[in-house]
Amino acid sequence: MAKVDVQRANPELYEQVKTEQERLKIHCRAQMKVARLCPYCGHKITTIYKGNHGYADEKCPNCGEEVIFPPISFRLSSK
């Protein structure tokens, strides 16, 4: 269960964010994506989309290790 019910606590904010998220979802659907895997246990931590990404500090929800990912930059490669 979610700890915070944003939809009920702040319906205005929720609608605003939801609308923006839907827009991003449609945009990202067409993008190439890459999964960032935990180097310790192989668990998928995040999904990143085509573009430039700097260092990212993530905590693996599977093994609890803190993982720092190096910057990544990629373009659509020819298939």
Which residues form the interface with Zn ion (CB under 5 A)? 38, 40-41, 43, 60, 62-63
State the Cα–Cα distance between residues 55 and 70, nearest whole angstrom. Answer: 5
If we measure between CA atoms, which residue out of 77, 26, 74 comes closest to residue 53? 74
Whichever of 19 and 62 has its CB closer to Zn ion, that residue is 62
**Which is closer to Zn ion, CB of 17 or CB of 41?**
41
Distance CA 26, CA 30 (A): 7
- Please report how close the Cβ of residue 42 comes to Zn ion at its closest, in angstroms: 7
Structure tokens at 66: 């803190």
Provide the minimum distance between the beta carbon of 24 and Zn ion in the complex, in angstroms, as a whole number: 26
Query: Please, are residues 42 and 20 in contact by the beta-carbon 8 Å criterion?
Result: no
In the complex, minimum distance from the CB of residue 29 to Zn ion, in angstroms, rounded to a whole number: 27
Nearer of residues 39 and 51 to Zn ion, judged by Cβ: 39
